[in-house]
Amino acid sequence: MTHDGKDAVVCDNPAVGRYELFVDGELAGLAVYTLSGDTMTIPHTEVQPRYEGRGLGARLAKFALDDARRRGLRVVPRCPFIAAYIERHPEYADLVVG
């Protein structure tokens, strides 16, 4: 079975500071974040190898950045994947600190 991200479910797990992406109930990816004041730092994003290359990392990036905007947070994209996603989607550039 293939997944293009449309049937994946993403949610925030604030207890452990990460966005989690599930496919068929399985944790397939995550984006780790820390909060300090009005700033969200995202140091790491990870998609399980067998789910890579299907747009799931992009789903996580979009969810995290949309959530940051909704919450009025600025973003420090320390994760190179998130930084690259923002470069490809300049509508999020205003969220970036510095």
Q: Give the CA dihedral 18, 3, 90, 13, nearest 10 degrees.
A: -10
Q: Which among 20, 36, 30, 19 is positioned nearest to 75, based on CA atoms?
A: 36
- Give the number of other Cβ atoms within 10 Å of residue 39's Cβ: 13
**Closest residue to ligand COA in the complex (CB):** 57
Q: Does 40 bind ligand COA (CB under 6 A)?
A: no
Query: Which tokens go with 44?
Result: 């790491």
- Of these, 57, 63, 73, 75, which contacts ligand COA (CB under 6 A)? 57
Residue with Cβ nearer ligand COA (64 or 79): 79
Minimum distance, C-beta of residue 95 to ligand COA, in the bound complex (Å): 18
Q: Does 75 bind ligand COA (CB under 6 A)?
A: no
Q: Does 80 bind ligand COA (CB under 6 A)?
A: yes
Q: Does 96 bind ligand COA (CB under 6 A)?
A: no
**How many chain residues interact with ligand COA (CB under 6 A)?**
15
> Exposed, middle or buried, 83 (CB in 10 Å: 0-12/13-18/19+)?
middle
Minimum distance, C-beta of residue 5 to ligand COA, in the bound complex (Å): 7
